[in-house]
Amino acid sequence: MHNSFKPHKRILMGPGPSNVNPKVLDAMSKAPLGHLDPQFIELMDEIKSLLKYTFKTENESTFVLSGPGSLGMEACLVNLVEPGDKVIVCVGGYFANRMTQIVEKIGGNVVVVKETWGRAIEPAKLEDALKTNPDTKVVAFVHAETSTGALSNIKQLSEIAHKYNCLTIADTVTSLGATDVYVDEWNLDAVYSCSQKGLACVAGMSPIIFSERAVQHIKNRKTPIQSWFNDLNLLSVYWSGVKRIYHHTAPSNQFYGLHEALLILKEEGIENAWRRHKENSAKFISKLKQLGLDPFVPEGERIPNLITVKIPSDTDEAKVRNELLNKHNLEIGAGLGELAGKIWRIGLMGYNSNEKMIDYCVGALKDVLNK
């Protein structure tokens, strides 16, 4: 006999997904709509408008891909990069490294600007790479590198890239909604995010934006886009214009959830949300320090909504995470790649970025670490 699935009500304080506002889940339980229903098209337009607010952009090419953040990453790269194009990727962690893998699959020529894991990308390194590679077409970087906890100054990286006539691709998967992002002011050409991190929704949607310059670049490509699903030209006939044409069956209930999450963010005010995440991050870090736990990333380079913590040397880190889960119902994240076993990753995102959750997490850590 099979029974209906009843998930545990976990406290999710890892790098995402996090707990979402119950209003988001309520919104998702409403009746499905057809993907070309006039009311659904209105919802898409509303989401577009809320995303423009959230991304701080006026770009008309603002869509949501029905898939996780990785799909957005692939979409930005596959639309802007042609086989043989030189692409600089600034790599200071696991997710930027994923970008290099995608560029290679497309047949692009990757140049890596390497940064120490846990540090913001040093802008001078990008400038050096551009001087040695003046034929670079695209520069890609991650704003909030969730694998390490480091936040890069992508405004500065973008300025440098444009000085050398490159298009820029920015990963705002963890930053969007929780940390300052200004797509237009920072001159970003293709930007993607996801729904389950800074935007505080459930997983499975990827907002993306293309600047007018990026759209023109795509129109003037010499070779076809190497993806059907992610071809901007095909996607845009579903997402814009008076007459919408079927591209794929958009998951209506997911979209209801995203709409609600974006609305909650707008009602708070995006600048207020940024401030809240910064303040709570500072409070959390000072409490962690009292437990003898130190942040992994130097001050001034930290992602406010994703705090990475050095694991004390005498600690069985997997045992700690298991006990947090089994005894306190609390999930935190392990280290990824070269930081596996060295750090924990703790999310204070969206609905969870508040004093109550800080105290819960600190209390649970204190108990499990026997402090």
Contacting positions for ligand PLP (CB under 6 A): 68-70, 73, 95, 142, 145-146, 171, 173-174, 194, 203
Residue nearest ligand PLP by beta-carbon distance: 69
CA distances from 361 to 14, 125, 310, 366, 367 (A): 11, 37, 16, 8, 10
CB-nearer residue toward ligand PLP: 146 or 252: 146
- Indicate the residue among 75 and 173 with the shorter CB distance to ligand PLP: 173
CB of 77 to ligand PLP, least distance (A): 12
DSSP class per residue in 184-209:
TTTT-SEEE--SSSTT-S-SS-EEEE
Closest to ligand PLP by CB, 73 or 129? 73
Shortest gap between Cβ of 177 and ligand PLP (angstroms)?
13
Q: Which is nearer to ligand PLP, 79 or 364 (CB)?
A: 79
The least CB distance from residue 203 to ligand PLP, in Å, is 6
Give one DSSP letter per residue of 35-81, joined into a string.
TT-HHHHHHHHHHHHHHHHHHT---SEEEEESS-HHHHHHHHHHHH-
Nearest distance from C-beta of residue 173 to ligand PLP, angstroms: 4
How open is the CA angle 37-43-46, to the nearest 5 degrees? 150
The rounded distance, in Å, linking the Cα atoms of 179 and 301 is 12
**Smallest separation (angstroms) from ligand PLP to the CB of 160:** 20
Distance CA 154, CA 181 (A): 9
Give CA–CA dist 12/122, Å, rounded: 32
Query: What is the token pair recorded at 77?
Result: 């790269």
Alpha helices in 120-178, H assignment, sequence order = 123-132, 154-163
Min dist. Cβ of residue 355 to ligand PLP (A): 25
Please identify, using beta-carbon distances, which residue of 302 and 328 lies nearer to ligand PLP: 302
Cβ atoms of 64 and 201 within 8 Å: the answer is no
The CA-atom distances, in angstroms, between 26 and each of 20, 32, 192, 207 are 11, 13, 26, 21
Residue with token string 């337009």: 45
Which of 183, 138, 190, 129 shows the shortest CA–CA distance to 162? 138
In angstroms, give the least distance from the CB of 163 to ligand PLP.
25
Indicate the residue among 40 and 94 with the shorter CB distance to ligand PLP: 94
First to last CA, the chain: 45
**CB closer to ligand PLP, 193 vs 328:** 193
Closest separation in Å from C-beta 55 to ligand PLP = 16
CA 290/CA 311 separation, integer angstroms: 15
Task: State the nearest-atom distance from the C-beta of 152 to ligand PLP, in Å.
Answer: 11
| Closer Cβ to ligand PLP, 68 or 156, answer by number | 68
CA atoms within 13 A on the CB side of 97: 13
Comparison of 123 and 198: residue with beta carbon closer to ligand PLP: 198
